[in-house]
Structure 1
Amino acid sequence: MASQKRVGVVLSGCGFLDGAEIQEAVCTLLSLDRRGTALVAAAPDIEQRHVVDHLLGAPAEGESRRVLTEAARIVRGKITDLAHVSASGLDALVFPGGFGVAKNLCSFAIDGRKMKVLPEVERLVREMRAARKPMGFVCIAPVLAAKLLGGEQVKVTIGDDAETAAAIESWGARHVECRVEEIVVDERLKVVSTPAYMLGPWIAPVAAGIDKLVSALLELAS
Protein backbone atom coordinates (compact mmCIF):
# COMPACT_ATOMS: atom_id res chain seq x y z
CA MET A 1 0.00 0.00 0.00
CA ALA A 2 1.39 3.41 -0.99
CA SER A 3 2.28 5.76 1.83
CA GLN A 4 0.16 8.85 2.39
CA LYS A 5 1.48 11.91 0.59
CA ARG A 6 2.09 15.11 2.56
CA VAL A 7 1.18 18.15 0.50
CA GLY A 8 1.83 21.73 1.52
CA VAL A 9 -0.74 24.38 0.62
CA VAL A 10 0.62 27.92 0.94
CA LEU A 11 -2.05 30.54 1.59
CA SER A 12 -1.61 34.29 1.26
CA GLY A 13 -4.42 35.52 3.51
CA CYS A 14 -8.20 35.25 3.13
CA GLY A 15 -10.09 37.00 0.33
CA PHE A 16 -9.14 37.37 -3.31
CA LEU A 17 -8.49 41.13 -3.30
CA ASP A 18 -5.93 41.11 -0.49
CA GLY A 19 -5.23 37.45 0.31
CA ALA A 20 -5.84 33.92 -0.94
CA GLU A 21 -8.70 33.36 -3.38
CA ILE A 22 -11.02 31.41 -1.09
CA GLN A 23 -12.72 29.29 -3.74
CA GLU A 24 -9.38 28.31 -5.28
CA ALA A 25 -8.00 27.46 -1.84
CA VAL A 26 -11.02 25.35 -0.88
CA CYS A 27 -11.09 23.56 -4.25
CA THR A 28 -7.39 22.76 -3.83
CA LEU A 29 -7.89 21.45 -0.29
CA LEU A 30 -10.94 19.42 -1.30
CA SER A 31 -9.20 17.82 -4.29
CA LEU A 32 -6.23 16.90 -2.12
CA ASP A 33 -8.37 15.57 0.72
CA ARG A 34 -10.47 13.43 -1.63
CA ARG A 35 -7.26 11.77 -2.75
CA GLY A 36 -6.25 10.93 0.80
CA THR A 37 -3.33 13.29 1.21
CA ALA A 38 -2.11 14.71 4.50
CA LEU A 39 -2.66 18.46 4.22
CA VAL A 40 -0.02 20.86 5.52
CA ALA A 41 -1.50 24.36 5.31
CA ALA A 42 0.96 27.20 5.79
CA ALA A 43 1.21 30.97 5.52
CA PRO A 44 3.83 33.57 6.34
CA ASP A 45 3.42 35.36 9.66
CA ILE A 46 3.63 38.86 8.21
CA GLU A 47 1.43 41.95 7.89
CA GLN A 48 -0.79 42.08 4.81
CA ARG A 49 0.21 44.76 2.34
CA HIS A 50 -3.24 46.28 2.89
CA VAL A 51 -6.83 45.31 3.73
CA VAL A 52 -9.57 45.48 1.09
CA ASP A 53 -13.30 45.78 1.80
CA HIS A 54 -14.61 43.01 -0.46
CA LEU A 55 -18.10 44.49 -0.55
CA LEU A 56 -16.88 47.85 -1.84
CA GLY A 57 -13.82 46.54 -3.66
CA ALA A 58 -11.74 49.31 -2.12
CA PRO A 59 -9.02 49.55 0.55
CA ALA A 60 -10.29 49.63 4.13
CA GLU A 61 -8.50 52.64 5.55
CA GLY A 62 -6.92 52.29 8.97
CA GLU A 63 -7.19 48.47 9.09
CA SER A 64 -4.33 46.01 9.32
CA ARG A 65 -4.31 42.21 9.41
CA ARG A 66 -1.73 39.43 9.46
CA VAL A 67 -1.50 36.92 6.64
CA LEU A 68 -1.16 33.87 8.90
CA THR A 69 -4.11 34.87 11.09
CA GLU A 70 -6.36 35.52 8.10
CA ALA A 71 -5.32 32.34 6.28
CA ALA A 72 -6.21 30.33 9.38
CA ARG A 73 -9.87 31.15 8.65
CA ILE A 74 -9.82 28.95 5.55
CA VAL A 75 -8.44 25.84 7.26
CA ARG A 76 -10.29 26.08 10.59
CA GLY A 77 -7.14 27.14 12.40
CA LYS A 78 -5.04 24.16 11.29
CA ILE A 79 -2.16 26.13 9.85
CA THR A 80 1.59 26.47 10.30
CA ASP A 81 3.91 29.44 10.05
CA LEU A 82 5.63 29.09 6.68
CA ALA A 83 8.99 29.59 8.40
CA HIS A 84 8.52 26.18 10.05
CA VAL A 85 7.79 24.29 6.81
CA SER A 86 10.56 22.69 4.76
CA ALA A 87 10.76 20.50 1.69
CA SER A 88 12.02 17.60 3.78
CA GLY A 89 8.56 17.29 5.35
CA LEU A 90 6.60 17.47 2.08
CA ASP A 91 6.00 15.33 -0.99
CA ALA A 92 4.47 18.17 -3.00
CA LEU A 93 3.55 21.84 -2.69
CA VAL A 94 0.67 23.98 -4.03
CA PHE A 95 0.08 27.74 -4.18
CA PRO A 96 -3.58 28.77 -4.68
CA GLY A 97 -3.98 32.22 -6.21
CA GLY A 98 -5.57 35.50 -5.24
CA PHE A 99 -4.13 39.01 -5.10
CA GLY A 100 -2.48 38.02 -1.83
CA VAL A 101 0.05 36.06 -3.88
CA ALA A 102 0.91 39.19 -5.86
CA LYS A 103 0.81 41.50 -2.83
CA ASN A 104 1.93 39.43 0.17
CA LEU A 105 3.98 36.51 -1.19
CA CYS A 106 5.67 38.73 -3.75
CA SER A 107 5.41 42.30 -5.01
CA PHE A 108 4.18 41.61 -8.56
CA ALA A 109 1.01 43.70 -8.07
CA ILE A 110 3.14 46.73 -7.24
CA ASP A 111 6.48 46.20 -8.97
CA GLY A 112 5.59 44.09 -12.00
CA ARG A 113 8.67 42.67 -13.71
CA LYS A 114 10.91 44.12 -10.98
CA MET A 115 9.04 42.17 -8.29
CA LYS A 116 10.70 40.57 -5.31
CA VAL A 117 9.61 37.27 -3.74
CA LEU A 118 9.10 36.91 0.01
CA PRO A 119 12.27 35.21 1.34
CA GLU A 120 10.41 32.33 3.03
CA VAL A 121 8.52 31.59 -0.19
CA GLU A 122 11.72 31.66 -2.21
CA ARG A 123 13.45 29.39 0.29
CA LEU A 124 10.71 26.75 0.17
CA VAL A 125 10.34 26.79 -3.62
CA ARG A 126 14.09 26.42 -4.06
CA GLU A 127 14.18 23.60 -1.49
CA MET A 128 11.42 21.77 -3.35
CA ARG A 129 13.20 22.23 -6.67
CA ALA A 130 16.51 21.03 -5.24
CA ALA A 131 14.74 17.93 -3.89
CA ARG A 132 13.01 17.42 -7.26
CA LYS A 133 9.60 17.45 -5.63
CA PRO A 134 6.54 18.64 -7.59
CA MET A 135 4.87 22.01 -7.20
CA GLY A 136 1.52 23.38 -8.34
CA PHE A 137 0.74 27.04 -9.06
CA VAL A 138 -2.84 28.31 -9.45
CA CYS A 139 -4.17 31.54 -11.00
CA ILE A 140 -1.55 34.32 -10.60
CA ALA A 141 0.79 32.11 -8.52
CA PRO A 142 2.74 30.92 -11.60
CA VAL A 143 4.57 34.27 -11.48
CA LEU A 144 6.37 32.85 -8.44
CA ALA A 145 7.54 29.83 -10.43
CA ALA A 146 8.47 32.01 -13.39
CA LYS A 147 10.53 34.43 -11.31
CA LEU A 148 12.32 31.77 -9.27
CA LEU A 149 12.73 29.07 -11.93
CA GLY A 150 12.90 31.22 -15.05
CA GLY A 151 16.60 30.49 -15.32
CA GLU A 152 15.63 26.88 -16.01
CA GLN A 153 13.00 27.94 -18.54
CA VAL A 154 10.10 26.61 -16.49
CA LYS A 155 6.87 26.19 -18.48
CA VAL A 156 3.73 27.71 -16.89
CA THR A 157 0.36 29.27 -17.68
CA ILE A 158 -1.74 32.12 -16.34
CA GLY A 159 -4.32 31.67 -19.09
CA ASP A 160 -4.06 34.28 -21.85
CA ASP A 161 -3.33 37.65 -20.21
CA ALA A 162 -0.74 39.17 -22.55
CA GLU A 163 0.84 41.57 -20.05
CA THR A 164 1.38 38.95 -17.34
CA ALA A 165 2.59 36.42 -19.91
CA ALA A 166 5.14 38.97 -21.16
CA ALA A 167 6.41 39.47 -17.60
CA ILE A 168 6.72 35.72 -17.17
CA GLU A 169 8.75 35.38 -20.36
CA SER A 170 10.95 38.35 -19.40
CA TRP A 171 12.34 36.19 -16.57
CA GLY A 172 13.25 33.36 -18.95
CA ALA A 173 10.19 31.23 -18.29
CA ARG A 174 7.93 29.91 -21.05
CA HIS A 175 4.25 30.84 -21.05
CA VAL A 176 1.64 28.56 -22.62
CA GLU A 177 -1.90 29.78 -23.28
CA CYS A 178 -4.47 27.59 -21.58
CA ARG A 179 -8.22 27.33 -20.99
CA VAL A 180 -9.59 27.61 -17.46
CA GLU A 181 -10.46 23.89 -17.22
CA GLU A 182 -7.02 22.75 -18.37
CA ILE A 183 -3.49 22.57 -17.00
CA VAL A 184 0.07 22.97 -18.21
CA VAL A 185 2.61 20.43 -16.99
CA ASP A 186 6.36 20.92 -17.04
CA GLU A 187 7.42 17.33 -16.51
CA ARG A 188 11.11 18.19 -16.54
CA LEU A 189 10.85 20.55 -13.57
CA LYS A 190 7.75 18.90 -12.06
CA VAL A 191 5.70 22.11 -12.16
CA VAL A 192 1.94 22.15 -12.84
CA SER A 193 -0.16 25.29 -13.37
CA THR A 194 -3.76 26.22 -14.17
CA PRO A 195 -5.39 29.62 -14.91
CA ALA A 196 -8.33 29.40 -12.44
CA TYR A 197 -9.69 32.91 -11.80
CA MET A 198 -7.21 34.52 -14.17
CA LEU A 199 -9.92 33.39 -16.58
CA GLY A 200 -12.92 32.40 -14.45
CA PRO A 201 -15.80 32.88 -14.96
CA TRP A 202 -17.06 31.01 -11.88
CA ILE A 203 -16.36 28.12 -9.56
CA ALA A 204 -17.19 25.01 -11.65
CA PRO A 205 -14.61 25.47 -14.44
CA VAL A 206 -12.07 26.79 -11.94
CA ALA A 207 -12.59 23.67 -9.81
CA ALA A 208 -12.19 21.43 -12.86
CA GLY A 209 -8.78 22.90 -13.66
CA ILE A 210 -7.62 22.71 -10.06
CA ASP A 211 -8.71 19.08 -9.78
CA LYS A 212 -6.65 18.23 -12.86
CA LEU A 213 -3.69 20.09 -11.37
CA VAL A 214 -3.93 18.12 -8.12
CA SER A 215 -4.20 14.83 -10.00
CA ALA A 216 -1.10 15.64 -12.08
CA LEU A 217 0.79 16.89 -9.04
CA LEU A 218 0.24 13.67 -7.11
CA GLU A 219 1.19 11.59 -10.14
CA LEU A 220 4.48 13.48 -10.31
CA ALA A 221 4.97 12.83 -6.59
CA SER A 222 4.53 9.08 -6.93
Structure 2
Amino acid sequence: MKKIAIIISGCGVFDGAEIHETVLTMLHIEQLGAQYQCFAPDQTQHHVINHLTGEEQQDSRNILIEAARIARGDIHDLATLNVDEFDALVVPGGFGVAKNLSDFAFKGSDSKILDTFKETCQSFSIQKKPIAYLCIAPALIGHIHPSGTVATIGNDTDTATASEALGIKHVACSATNIVVDSQNKVVSTPAYMLANSISEASQGIAKAIEQLIDMA
Protein backbone atom coordinates (compact mmCIF):
# COMPACT_ATOMS: atom_id res chain seq x y z
CA MET A 1 0.00 0.00 0.00
CA LYS A 2 1.36 3.39 -1.02
CA LYS A 3 1.99 5.85 1.82
CA ILE A 4 1.62 9.57 1.16
CA ALA A 5 2.87 12.45 3.32
CA ILE A 6 0.77 15.63 3.50
CA ILE A 7 2.27 18.94 4.61
CA ILE A 8 -0.32 21.23 6.22
CA SER A 9 0.44 24.94 6.67
CA GLY A 10 -2.08 25.74 9.43
CA CYS A 11 -5.88 25.78 9.51
CA GLY A 12 -7.95 28.15 7.40
CA VAL A 13 -7.64 29.56 3.89
CA PHE A 14 -6.53 33.09 4.81
CA ASP A 15 -3.76 32.28 7.28
CA GLY A 16 -3.17 28.53 7.02
CA ALA A 17 -4.04 25.49 4.91
CA GLU A 18 -7.17 25.50 2.75
CA ILE A 19 -9.38 23.11 4.70
CA HIS A 20 -11.46 21.80 1.79
CA GLU A 21 -8.34 21.08 -0.26
CA THR A 22 -6.65 19.30 2.63
CA VAL A 23 -9.66 17.14 3.47
CA LEU A 24 -10.26 16.31 -0.21
CA THR A 25 -6.61 15.27 -0.45
CA MET A 26 -7.07 12.87 2.47
CA LEU A 27 -10.33 11.54 1.02
CA HIS A 28 -8.97 10.88 -2.47
CA ILE A 29 -5.81 9.24 -1.12
CA GLU A 30 -7.90 6.87 0.97
CA GLN A 31 -10.42 6.18 -1.82
CA LEU A 32 -7.54 5.18 -4.11
CA GLY A 33 -6.35 2.59 -1.60
CA ALA A 34 -3.36 4.47 -0.21
CA GLN A 35 -2.53 5.74 3.28
CA TYR A 36 -1.54 9.22 4.42
CA GLN A 37 0.23 10.89 7.33
CA CYS A 38 0.05 14.60 8.06
CA PHE A 39 2.92 16.90 9.03
CA ALA A 40 3.26 20.60 9.83
CA PRO A 41 6.07 22.85 11.04
CA ASP A 42 6.13 23.43 14.80
CA GLN A 43 6.39 27.21 14.81
CA THR A 44 4.31 30.36 15.09
CA GLN A 45 2.26 31.25 12.01
CA HIS A 46 2.77 34.63 10.33
CA HIS A 47 -0.49 36.14 11.63
CA VAL A 48 -4.09 35.25 12.48
CA ILE A 49 -7.04 36.24 10.30
CA ASN A 50 -10.66 36.38 11.45
CA HIS A 51 -12.26 34.25 8.76
CA LEU A 52 -15.65 35.86 9.33
CA THR A 53 -14.56 39.48 8.83
CA GLY A 54 -11.26 39.05 6.99
CA GLU A 55 -9.54 41.28 9.55
CA GLU A 56 -6.23 40.53 11.24
CA GLN A 57 -6.48 39.56 14.91
CA GLN A 58 -4.02 40.39 17.66
CA ASP A 59 -3.36 36.76 18.37
CA SER A 60 -0.58 34.20 18.06
CA ARG A 61 -1.06 30.60 16.94
CA ASN A 62 1.17 27.62 16.30
CA ILE A 63 1.06 26.08 12.80
CA LEU A 64 1.31 22.48 14.04
CA ILE A 65 -1.38 22.93 16.69
CA GLU A 66 -3.71 24.62 14.19
CA ALA A 67 -3.05 21.98 11.52
CA ALA A 68 -3.88 19.29 14.07
CA ARG A 69 -7.50 20.51 13.90
CA ILE A 70 -7.75 19.29 10.30
CA ALA A 71 -5.77 16.11 10.95
CA ARG A 72 -7.94 15.21 13.96
CA GLY A 73 -4.80 15.23 16.10
CA ASP A 74 -2.95 12.63 14.01
CA ILE A 75 -0.08 14.83 12.89
CA HIS A 76 3.67 15.17 13.45
CA ASP A 77 6.28 17.91 13.41
CA LEU A 78 7.55 18.42 9.84
CA ALA A 79 11.11 18.19 11.18
CA THR A 80 10.50 14.49 11.97
CA LEU A 81 9.34 13.50 8.48
CA ASN A 82 11.46 10.59 7.19
CA VAL A 83 11.25 10.59 3.40
CA ASP A 84 12.32 6.92 3.30
CA GLU A 85 8.98 5.98 4.88
CA PHE A 86 6.84 7.55 2.14
CA ASP A 87 6.17 7.05 -1.55
CA ALA A 88 4.94 10.56 -2.39
CA LEU A 89 4.10 13.99 -0.98
CA VAL A 90 1.17 16.41 -1.27
CA VAL A 91 1.17 20.12 -0.41
CA PRO A 92 -2.40 21.53 -0.24
CA GLY A 93 -2.85 25.27 -0.78
CA GLY A 94 -4.19 28.12 1.29
CA PHE A 95 -2.41 31.35 2.26
CA GLY A 96 -0.44 29.40 4.87
CA VAL A 97 1.73 28.15 2.00
CA ALA A 98 2.51 31.73 1.01
CA LYS A 99 2.69 33.13 4.57
CA ASN A 100 3.90 30.30 6.82
CA LEU A 101 5.86 27.93 4.54
CA SER A 102 7.25 30.95 2.70
CA ASP A 103 6.85 34.71 2.37
CA PHE A 104 5.63 34.51 -1.23
CA ALA A 105 2.43 36.39 -0.32
CA PHE A 106 4.52 39.44 0.57
CA LYS A 107 7.65 39.20 -1.57
CA GLY A 108 6.65 37.20 -4.66
CA SER A 109 9.67 36.48 -6.82
CA ASP A 110 11.96 37.77 -4.04
CA SER A 111 10.51 35.30 -1.56
CA LYS A 112 12.24 32.72 0.59
CA ILE A 113 10.84 29.45 1.88
CA LEU A 114 11.04 27.63 5.18
CA ASP A 115 14.22 25.54 5.35
CA THR A 116 12.56 22.39 6.71
CA PHE A 117 9.90 22.57 4.01
CA LYS A 118 12.44 23.06 1.24
CA GLU A 119 14.71 20.28 2.50
CA THR A 120 11.80 17.86 2.79
CA CYS A 121 10.48 18.55 -0.71
CA GLN A 122 13.96 18.35 -2.22
CA SER A 123 14.58 15.04 -0.47
CA PHE A 124 11.46 13.59 -2.12
CA SER A 125 12.63 14.97 -5.46
CA ILE A 126 16.17 13.59 -5.09
CA GLN A 127 14.72 10.14 -4.40
CA LYS A 128 12.53 10.46 -7.54
CA LYS A 129 9.38 10.41 -5.43
CA PRO A 130 6.49 12.47 -6.87
CA ILE A 131 5.04 15.60 -5.29
CA ALA A 132 1.60 17.16 -5.90
CA TYR A 133 1.23 20.89 -5.30
CA LEU A 134 -2.30 22.30 -5.03
CA CYS A 135 -3.70 25.83 -5.43
CA ILE A 136 -1.01 28.44 -4.59
CA ALA A 137 1.57 25.80 -3.57
CA PRO A 138 2.97 25.45 -7.15
CA ALA A 139 4.23 29.04 -6.81
CA LEU A 140 7.02 27.63 -4.60
CA ILE A 141 8.13 24.95 -7.07
CA GLY A 142 10.90 27.20 -8.41
CA HIS A 143 12.45 27.26 -4.93
CA ILE A 144 12.56 23.46 -4.86
CA HIS A 145 12.78 21.90 -8.32
CA PRO A 146 15.01 22.50 -11.37
CA SER A 147 14.41 25.63 -13.43
CA GLY A 148 11.89 24.96 -16.18
CA THR A 149 9.75 22.56 -14.16
CA VAL A 150 6.26 22.66 -15.68
CA ALA A 151 3.41 23.62 -13.32
CA THR A 152 0.22 25.64 -12.93
CA ILE A 153 -1.43 28.02 -10.49
CA GLY A 154 -4.42 28.41 -12.83
CA ASN A 155 -4.46 31.61 -14.87
CA ASP A 156 -3.72 34.52 -12.51
CA THR A 157 -1.22 36.63 -14.44
CA ASP A 158 0.59 38.26 -11.49
CA THR A 159 1.05 35.00 -9.59
CA ALA A 160 2.13 33.18 -12.74
CA THR A 161 4.67 35.91 -13.55
CA ALA A 162 6.16 35.81 -10.04
CA SER A 163 6.26 32.00 -10.17
CA GLU A 164 8.00 32.04 -13.54
CA ALA A 165 10.55 34.52 -12.17
CA LEU A 166 11.37 31.86 -9.57
CA GLY A 167 11.96 29.29 -12.31
CA ILE A 168 8.81 27.35 -13.24
CA LYS A 169 7.37 27.08 -16.73
CA HIS A 170 3.75 28.07 -16.16
CA VAL A 171 0.85 26.46 -18.02
CA ALA A 172 -2.67 27.87 -17.74
CA CYS A 173 -5.09 25.24 -16.46
CA SER A 174 -8.71 24.93 -15.31
CA ALA A 175 -9.68 24.00 -11.76
CA THR A 176 -10.87 20.59 -12.90
CA ASN A 177 -7.63 19.64 -14.61
CA ILE A 178 -3.96 19.04 -13.81
CA VAL A 179 -0.51 19.77 -15.20
CA VAL A 180 2.12 17.04 -15.02
CA ASP A 181 5.90 17.32 -15.31
CA SER A 182 6.80 13.66 -15.83
CA GLN A 183 10.55 14.22 -15.84
CA ASN A 184 10.59 15.97 -12.45
CA LYS A 185 7.61 13.99 -11.10
CA VAL A 186 5.64 17.11 -10.22
CA VAL A 187 1.84 17.35 -10.40
CA SER A 188 -0.13 20.57 -9.94
CA THR A 189 -3.74 21.73 -10.06
CA PRO A 190 -5.32 25.17 -9.47
CA ALA A 191 -7.96 24.00 -6.96
CA TYR A 192 -9.39 27.11 -5.22
CA MET A 193 -7.19 29.46 -7.21
CA LEU A 194 -10.00 29.00 -9.74
CA ALA A 195 -12.62 26.62 -8.34
CA ASN A 196 -16.08 28.06 -7.72
CA SER A 197 -17.27 25.11 -5.64
CA ILE A 198 -15.98 22.22 -3.56
CA SER A 199 -17.12 19.84 -6.30
CA GLU A 200 -15.04 21.67 -8.89
CA ALA A 201 -11.98 21.68 -6.62
CA SER A 202 -12.51 17.99 -5.94
CA GLN A 203 -12.31 17.07 -9.62
CA GLY A 204 -8.85 18.55 -10.07
CA ILE A 205 -7.55 17.23 -6.75
CA ALA A 206 -8.86 13.73 -7.53
CA LYS A 207 -6.96 13.73 -10.83
CA ALA A 208 -3.81 15.06 -9.12
CA ILE A 209 -3.87 12.38 -6.41
CA GLU A 210 -4.56 9.63 -8.95
CA GLN A 211 -1.61 10.79 -11.05
CA LEU A 212 0.58 11.10 -7.96
CA ILE A 213 -0.14 7.53 -6.86
CA ASP A 214 0.41 6.21 -10.39
CA MET A 215 3.82 7.91 -10.47
CA ALA A 216 4.81 6.67 -7.00
Q: Is the 8 A contact 2:195 2:201 kept in 1?
A: yes
Q: Is 1:49 matched with 2:49?
A: no
Report the equivalent of 2:90: 94
Report the equivalent of 1:141: 137
Distance in 1 of aligned mates of 2:206 and 2:176: 9
Structure 1 ranges of 4+ moved more than 3 A: none
After TM superposition, list the pairs within 5 Å mapping 1:31-180 onto structure 2: 31-61=28-58, 63-151=59-147, 153-180=148-175
Cα-Cα RMSD: 0.8
Query: What's the CA shift for 1:147?
Result: 2.3
Q: Which 5+ residue runs of structure 1 have no aligned equivalent?
A: none
What is the letter of the counterpart of residue 42 of structure 2? Answer: D
What is the letter of the counterpart of residue 37 of structure 2? Answer: V
Q: Is the 8 A contact 2:140 2:163 kept in 1?
A: no
Distance in 1 of aligned mates of 2:129 and 2:25: 18
Q: Is the 8 A contact 1:147 1:168 kept in 2?
A: no
Distance in 1 of aligned mates of 2:142 and 2:190: 14
Q: Is the 8 A contact 1:10 1:96 kept in 2?
A: yes
The secondary structure found in structure 1 opposite 2:70 is coil
Query: What's the CA shift for 1:173?
Result: 1.3
1:130-172 CA deviation, whole Å, 9 max, x = no partner? 1000000000000121222142x11000000001111111122
Query: What's the CA shift for 1:89?
Result: 1.3
Distance in 2 of aligned mates of 1:38 and 1:200: 26
What is the letter of the counterpart of residue 192 of structure 1? Answer: V
What is the letter of the counterpart of residue 13 of structure 2? Answer: F
Report the equivalent of 1:16: 13
What is the letter of the counterpart of residue 193 of structure 1? Answer: S
Q: Is the 8 A contact 1:192 1:217 kept in 2?
A: yes
Distance in 2 of aligned mates of 1:93 and 1:105: 15
Worse-matched range after superposition: 41-50 or 139-148: 139-148
The secondary structure found in structure 2 opposite 1:23 is helix
Residue number among 179, 192, 214 corresponding to 2:209 in the alignment: 214
Q: Is the 8 A contact 1:17 1:98 kept in 2?
A: yes
Report the equivalent of 1:191: 186
What is the letter of the counterpart of residue 14 of structure 1? Answer: C
Distance in 1 of aligned mates of 2:24 and 2:210: 13
The two structures have a TM-score, normalised by structure 2, of: 0.98
The two structures have a TM-score, normalised by structure 1, of: 0.96
Q: Which 5+ residue runs of structure 2 have no aligned equivalent?
A: none
* Percent pairwise identity: 44
